[in-house]
Amino acid sequence: MIRKAVIPAAGFGTRFLPATKCSPKEMLPIVDTPVIQYVVEEAVASGITDILMVIGRGKRAIEEHFDRSAELEWELEAKGKLDQLRQIRRISELANIHFVWQKRMLGLGDAIRCAEAHVGDEPFAVLLGDTLLQSTSGVPAVKQLIDAYEATKTSVVAVEAVTPEKVSKYGVIAGEPEKDIGDGKIWRVDDLVEKPAPEEAPSNYAIASRYVLTPDVFAALHDVRPGKGGEIQLTDALRLLAHASPIHARIIDAVRHDVGNHMGFIKTNIIYGLLRPDLRDTLAAFIKETAKDL
């Protein structure tokens, strides 16, 4: 059973400056809720009870968001704003949340390395703190991976099909559908390449910001050298693992929303705004009216 998750949230967020100069990009709001809260809710809905967030300088707001806020609670109670009070309390009761500091931002692989002591000798989930996966099947994305782990007992990465011009933004897998499990949605991974040029991409399946990893990933993370961008890449460590023992990918039934870039942020706000019953009609009317002048 997988009960622990790691949420890396220490990166500089340079694609979203100046907003991220001293505020975490993981706290960017989608309508009125920080991205990282949706990520925690996905983990909790998938059966995770213990969450380790990897944070760094300028990321204290994340700690405070998941802590109790006694003064705010008194204020809401005194004013009879009981719905908001419930909402605020629920955030701090979602899961057991722990924090570890990444001292130098050496990349996603290094952020996962910071989780080694906390995770210990058990498989764990990884959810990037700046990306939402909107399930299209009703099953939370990371739960789909946990189920694939139960079927394969290996590390499993989420993948989604992307267009050729997008492969160079992500890690890309090479492999084959695994026979007899997962209805063609679980692939055996033979190789992974971080941000390949379109003509070098081994497939159009890109890693989609969710993973279930077995603890042998830590040894691989200690062995990898800095890769693309001089960073310790998780994809490179998974590549070492894939060459030594089986690992799998799950073609995920979900749409990825990467909130840490301009268009991703704006689009995700519109999509999630249109899902809100209290906003849907006015937002749709505004979009139609604005589109007339484009």
Q: Which residues here bind ligand UTP, judged by CB under 6 A?
A: 8-15, 26, 54, 102, 105-108, 110-111, 128-130, 260
Report which residue type is found at 114: C
Residue 126 token pair:
């990884």
Residue 130 CB, shortest distance to ligand UTP, in Å, is 4
Percentages helix, strand, coil for the chain (3-state, rounded to 5) are 40, 25, 35
Considering beta carbons, is residue 107 or 182 the nearer one to ligand UTP? 107
Cα 277 to Cα 259: distance, rounded to the nearest angstrom: 22
According to DSSP, the residues that pair with 239 across neighbouring strands are none
Phi, psi of 216 (to 5 degrees): -65, -10
36 close to 64: Cβ distance less than 8 angstroms: no
Residue 263 CB, shortest distance to ligand UTP, in Å, is 13
Residue 65 CB, shortest distance to ligand UTP, in Å, is 15
Residue 73 CB, shortest distance to ligand UTP, in Å, is 29
Considering beta carbons, is residue 88 or 105 the nearer one to ligand UTP? 105
Q: Which residue is nearest to ligand UTP (CB)?
A: 11
Q: DSSP character for 184?
A: G
192 close to 235: Cβ distance less than 8 angstroms: yes
Considering beta carbons, is residue 99 or 185 the nearer one to ligand UTP? 99
Residue 73 token pair:
């609670």
Residue 13 CB, shortest distance to ligand UTP, in Å, is 4
Residue 83 CB, shortest distance to ligand UTP, in Å, is 30
Considering beta carbons, is residue 216 or 258 the nearer one to ligand UTP? 258
101 by DSSP, 3-state: which? Answer: strand
Considering beta carbons, is residue 8 or 175 the nearer one to ligand UTP? 8
According to DSSP, the residues that pair with 139 across neighbouring strands are none
Phi, psi of 76 (to 5 degrees): -65, -40
Considering beta carbons, is residue 23 or 69 the nearer one to ligand UTP? 23
